[in-house]
Amino acid sequence: MKFSLLSKPTELQLEKDASSKYLPVVIAAMVFLASLALIGLFSINSAISDWSGAISGNLTVEIAYDKNGDMDQRAEDAVAFLKTVPGINEVRTITKAETAELLEPFLGRADVIENLPLPRLVEVTVSENSALDLLATATQLENTVPGAHLNTHRPWLDKMLLLARSIQFLAAAIMFLISMVTIVIIVFAARTGMVMHHDIIEVLHLIGARDGYIARQFQDYFARLSLFGAVPGLIIAIIVMQFFTYLASRLEAGLIQPPSMVLEGWLALALLPLLVAILTTVTVRWIVLSSLKRMM
């Protein structure tokens, strides 16, 4: 199957058809939506990797607030115990000021938050490839320090991963739906062109033109229209992504992480217009050849 976008129709003069002029606009809209879905897929996948890497080697000890107990002493006892546990690389007490600073975006002024009955937190870093028994460590810690609880972040991470995978599945479903709608639009445009040029096609048949020659004129013309629409749609999607990245980067406390694209994601975006042109070529060729067989 020959794929030559630079060649222009001669006998059929498809470029004069007013009915197909809307196709680049529709394709641009479809590619714009598909690009956003693709950006979402790769951005969420990158975020999942970042979450897993950041949390897998970190633990947090939470010491429940007790107005009758010495919270500073309990934090020191927890640190002293954890430093004796094999497989733990670093232990650090998070001060009340740091805790207040973390909560400030949600609760307001830090000086007011420091007066609230907040738990004390201890940050724990686990050595790489450590065979730490988390259950045994948590049990010993609770027996050693009253009110202490070892948080592995795993339940939170599992919920975030489930949400992220669900969004990825939704984005993939959206891309599939966009592909199906695009194919339907291309089929409709190709069949309309066949109807409008029915008489010319019959004349070409009479003078010995082969079906492949006629189909090639249709497929190259519609592939060219698709490419002219796909490139602007992709550019607009990238501009929207950069604008959203700019807005997200201006938010404090990392409430919304800006989308981050890996090299594979950029390559997939760059190939999207070409894939649309190939899809258009294959679809139009199949439709035209099927219609030509019925005409004979």
185 and 228 both lie in a single domain = yes
Amino acid, res. 127: S
41 and 170 both lie in a single domain = yes
83 is a domain residue: yes
141 and 210 both lie in a single domain = no
How many domains does the chain contain in total?
Answer: 2
168 and 276 both lie in a single domain = yes
116 and 187 both lie in a single domain = no
Q: State how far the Cα of 156 lies from the Cα of 47, in Å rounded to an integer.
A: 14
Residue pair 1/220 in contact by the 8 Å Cβ criterion: no
290 is a domain residue: yes
Residue identified by tokens 């006629």 is 214
162 and 246 both lie in a single domain = yes
275 and 140 both lie in a single domain = no
Token duo for residue 40 = 């979402």
Secondary structure element (H or E) that encloses residue 123, with its range:
strand 120-126
Which residue, among 278, 277, 275, 265, has the nearest Cα to 237 in the 3D structure? Answer: 265
pLDDT (tens place) for every residue of the chain, 296 residues total:
444 554 554 556 676 666 677 889 999 999 999 998 888 888 887 777 766 656 666 788 888 888 777 888 888 888 888 888 888 888 888 887 787 777 776 676 656 666 777 888 888 888 777 777 777 888 888 888 888 888 776 677 777 778 878 888 888 898 899 989 999 999 988 888 888 877 777 777 777 778 788 888 888 888 989 999 999 999 999 999 888 877 777 765 444 556 667 788 889 899 999 999 999 999 999 988 888 777 65
Which residue, among 140, 137, 124, has the nearest Cα to 92 in the 3D structure? Answer: 124
Q: State how far the Cα of 34 lies from the Cα of 16, in Å rounded to an integer.
A: 29
185 is a domain residue: yes
282 and 195 both lie in a single domain = yes
Domain boundary among 97, 122, 146: 146
99 and 139 both lie in a single domain = yes
**What confidence tens digit (pLDDT) does each residue in 103-133 have?**
776 676 656 666 777 888 888 888 777 777 7
197 and 265 both lie in a single domain = yes
6 is a domain residue: no
Which residue, among 234, 192, 184, has the nearest Cα to 29 in the 3D structure? Answer: 234
Residue pair 268/45 in contact by the 8 Å Cβ criterion: no
For residue 10, what pLDDT is reported? Answer: 52
For residue 108, what pLDDT is reported? Answer: 66
131 is a domain residue: yes
| Rg of the Cα atoms in the chain | 31
Q: State how far the Cα of 269 lies from the Cα of 238, in Å rounded to an integer.
A: 9
For residue 279, what pLDDT is reported? Answer: 92
For residue 148, what pLDDT is reported? Answer: 85
Token duo for residue 65 = 């607030």
Domain containing 129: what range? 65-146
235 is a domain residue: yes
Classified as helix, coil or strand, 6 is: coil
Token duo for residue 259 = 């989308």
**What confidence tens digit (pLDDT) does each residue in 81-109 have?**
888 888 888 888 888 778 777 777 667 66
Q: How far is CA 95 from CA 17, 58, 72, 285, in A?
A: 72, 17, 9, 69
9 is a domain residue: no
Domain boundary among 146, 176, 207: 146
For residue 2, what pLDDT is reported? Answer: 46
For residue 133, what pLDDT is reported? Answer: 76
161 and 249 both lie in a single domain = yes
Q: State how far the Cα of 112 lies from the Cα of 116, in Å rounded to an integer.
A: 7
